[in-house]
Amino acid sequence: MTITRRGVLGGLAGLAASSTLPAAAKDFWGQRLANAPREFLFGYGSLISGPSRTATSGRPVPAIAARISGSFGYVRSWASRFTPREGTAGFTALGIRPRMPGEEPGSINGVIFPVKDEAELAAFDAREGGYDRVELDQAHVEAIDWEGLPRVGKIWVYVPKESDGKGPADLQQPDVNFPLLQSYIDVVMQGSLDEGPDFARELIETTLDWSPFWLDDRPIARRAWADTPRSGAIDRLLATVEPAASQFRNRLYPELYAVRHLMGKAATPPR
């Protein structure tokens, strides 16, 4: 008996036709993964930096570029203080505060990133111990790149506490004991440049209360390029974009800061 190729193929086709069943693929449209995050944070200062977020979470944390509307009623300002601990001098950090009388409303750019679980959220709360975590209404938030906002869950933002810890921060402008620190600014600006130069310019333009009390505390301040990534790009933005540019000339190396602001007169005791 001779079996031809045509005969084999014909037999297989007949078998396939006789065993055809209705399609049984499931439809998962509209369903979310069981472990999808439902808590998100809006970072507008050092939390814009990916490495800074990783230092708290212990894992890389993705983020999307976003913006808070001026209708939220707050402005970003150098209005949050980290008080001295043993071996430290204290400094002024970025915070958000209610608009002062006569101030125009302005937007605040930053990033939104997911929080994995309650333990990770607690870690960020501990890091931001001088701040209260406040829920943002999504009506005040927009995504500003190709990614969209989370469709479910809560978005939180950290608002500086008053000294008594009971309400929004009063304005505490930088002073001789609590200057702007270039090392902190570098963290914020490096994260901002990761989102692009336009994002970084916007951050400077939407930040108030830049100060003449500005300490250049980079690890190798006189050769910043040797230790601080993108120091040249950061300095060009700070020197040319207002309102930072009007104070940039007052940035001083530690020894010159001490001569101008500290020697020959007693510094104000820290609060």
pLDDT tens digits, 236-248: 999 999 999 999 9
Q: What is the pTM of this model?
A: 0.86
Confidence of residue 161 (pLDDT cuts 50, 70, 90): confident
**CA-CA distances (angstroms) from residue 220 to 95, 100, 229, 231, 267?**
27, 38, 12, 11, 26
pLDDT of residue 17: 56
pLDDT of residue 165: 47
Alpha helices in 19-163 (DSSP H): 50-57, 118-127
**CA–CA distance, 252 with 258 (Å, rounded to integer):** 9
pLDDT tens digits, 178-192: 999 999 999 999 999
In the sheet that holds 207-208, the strands lie side by side as 91-98, 74-82, 207-208
Look over the chain and give the mean of its residue pLDDT values, rounded to a whole number. 89
Confidence of residue 6 (pLDDT cuts 50, 70, 90): low
**CA-CA distances (angstroms) from residue 115 to 31, 38, 101, 119, 155?**
20, 8, 35, 9, 10
Quick check: 111 pLDDT over 60? yes
Q: Please report which helix (H) or strand (E) contains residue 39, including its range.
A: strand 39-43
**CA–CA distance, 31 with 154 (Å, rounded to integer):** 18
**CA–CA distance, 147 with 113 (Å, rounded to integer):** 12
pLDDT of residue 223: 96
In the sheet that holds 108-115, the strands lie side by side as 131-136, 154-160, 39-43, 108-115, 64-68, 141-143
User: Which of these, 93, 108, 95, 99, lies nearest to 74 by C-alpha position?
Assistant: 99
